[in-house]
């Protein structure tokens, strides 16, 4: 199990992107899973991502979801 701060950050990303993209949180999670964004981007880059502004993180995640 991952430390709570990583889990909290993932949940925050899902919630904020759902609001930004005007889609459900379930849809964001489904897209994350389809692209393996959590495993291949958020978790490996967590120590850097948590220090970035939300706008930078949001733009990176949206770009990954679209590729």
- pLDDT, tens digit (0-9, with 9 covering 90-100), for 22-62: 999 999 999 999 999 999 999 999 999 999 999 999 999 99
Query: What is the spatial distance between Cα 24 and Cα 4, in angstroms, rounded to a whole number?
Result: 23
Query: What is the spatial distance between Cα 23 and Cα 14, in angstroms, rounded to a whole number?
Result: 10
What local confidence, expressed as pLDDT, does residue 19 receive? Answer: 97
What local confidence, expressed as pLDDT, does residue 22 receive? Answer: 97
The CB density around residue 35, as the number of other CB atoms within 10 Å, is 16
What local confidence, expressed as pLDDT, does residue 67 receive? Answer: 83
For residue 26, the enclosing domain spans 4-66
What domain count does the chain have?
A: 1
What local confidence, expressed as pLDDT, does residue 4 receive? Answer: 66
Q: How many Cα atoms occupy the beta-carbon half-sphere of 47 within 13 Å?
A: 1
What local confidence, expressed as pLDDT, does residue 2 receive? Answer: 62
**DSSP state for residue 3 in the 8-state scheme:** -
């Amino acid at each position: 199990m991952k430390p709570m701060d990583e889990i909290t950050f993932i949940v925050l990303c899902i919630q904020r992107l759902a609001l930004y993209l005007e889609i459900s949180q379930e849809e964001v999670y489904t897209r994350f899973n389809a692209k393996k964004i959590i495993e291949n981007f958020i978790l490996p880059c967590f120590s850097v991502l948590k220090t970035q502004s939300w706008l930078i993180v949001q733009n990176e995640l949206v770009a990954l979801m679209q590729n």
